[in-house]
Structure formats: structure tokens, C-alpha cells
Amino acid sequence: MITESTEILSILQKKFPQIAEKALQEEIAAVGKLMHFHAGTVIMDYQSYVRMVPLIVEGSIKVSREDDQEGKEMLLYFLGAGETCSMSFTCCMMSKKSAIRTEAVEDTTLIGIPIQYIDQWMSKFQSWKNFIMLSYDLKMIELVKVLDSIAFEGMDSRLKKYLFARSKATNSPTIEATHSEIAADLNASREAVSRLLKKLESLGIVQLGRNQITIL
């Protein structure tokens, strides 16, 4: 029987080639915990303390932020296999409560790394520092683009970007979601999403089915 550590080690080498240093891989394998979440599960909610940094092995996750006032939720981005949650770094290192909510979109497997190692590895391992900085930078750029599209673009191009981002995160051209779920993510009405999707379908960009949208 293989131990969890050896399993983590082989997963790391396969899915996180950026984390190159052998010694680092071994430490992750030693302290990391393999965790599984079913689709729809809220992994981390607002206000909860972040005690782990996740390395996503399989599946995908939706990261959203709650509006200052009540109720309204706003989608920030999706995370897929091979990625990590940039927001969790700062939360961890400053031991702040989570400002975001993360929810499994698909059944998801991740390696959870306890917070106490995050900081010490920064100075100890070059490839850890690079990994953290690079994912931070990438997500920040993506976030700014989302911001731009909200400010300057119409719903149609926002919807297109949403579909592409989600398809990229799930690593599949087919998206499993209802129109109302998408509408909620985009802060739009369900009817608007339905109509725009219909238009995309007639343009031959997507194919629609109940609870699923396939990008062509």
C-alpha cells in the first residue's frame, strides 16, 4: 500500500512541475494533506480563518467575494488543476479572516498545506517563492481584466469571457451549469443570459443543452 506522502510526491511531480526542488517536494509530501470536496461544497466561507493553502490537483473551484452590504455575491475567478488560491497566501500570512468564499465547481482534490510552512518556505526554497509570486501575478492580471470588462464591456463579451474562463478551469469545452447560475455569477438576469446564449448558439459559437453549454 502506498502512503499519502508518496502519493502526494507523485502528484506534485505530475501536476506542479514548477515546484522543482526535491527537498521542497519532500516537505510538501510530509506535511500536506490530500483533501476531497464534492461539487457544490463550500470549501471556505467569508470570515473563516484560512488555515491551509490549497494546491489544486483535480477539479475546479469558484472564488467569489461578497458585496459590502448584504446578499450580493460577485464572482472573481475560477481556479483549475495546477493552480492555487492567491488570496489564501495573504490571508494566511497576516492571519486574517477570509475575504472570499471558495466553492467546488466540480468534484475537487487538493493538497492542503498548513499555514506555518507557507512563510518559512518563502526564504528556504527559491521555487516556492517563484511559484507563489507567479500565481499571484497571474491572478492579479486576470482580475484586472475582469474589472475592465465589467467597466467597459457589455454583457455579451462578459459572458463569452466567463464561458472561456470556466471551460479553461474545468479543462473541458463543456460547462455544466444552469442559466440562472451563470446569471448570478455575472450579476445579470437569467433572461438576459438565456438570450445571449441563444445568440451565441445561432452564431455557431456554442451548443446548448439542459444544464450544459459546449464551446465549439
Partner DNA sequence: ACATTAAGTGATT
Partner DNA sequence: AATCACTTAATGT
Options 188, 207, 214, 215; binder of DNA; rule CB under 7 A: 188
If one asks whether residue 163 binds DNA (CB under 7 A), the answer comes out as no
Q: Is 97 left (phi over 0), alpha (psi -120 to 50) or beta?
A: beta
Look up residue 68 and give its DSSP letter: S
Options 69, 94, 151, 210; binder of DNA; rule CB under 7 A: 210
Distance from the Cα of residue 98 to its chain's centroid: 15
The H-or-E segment that residue 207 falls in is strand 206-209
- Minimal distance, residue 104 CB to DNA, in Å: 18
Look up residue 47 and give its DSSP letter: T
Residue placing its CB nearer to DNA in the complex, 55 or 197 = 197
Pick the stretch among 55-63, 108-116, 121-129, 152-160 that binds DNA (CB under 7 A).
152-160
Strands 73-80 and 33-37: unpaired
If one asks whether residue 62 binds DNA (CB under 7 A), the answer comes out as no
Which are the contacts of 1, defined by CB distance < 8 A and separation ≥ 6?
none
If one asks whether residue 206 binds DNA (CB under 7 A), the answer comes out as no
Residues at the site binding DNA, with contacts judged by CB under 7 A: 154-156, 178-180, 187-192, 194-198, 208, 210-211
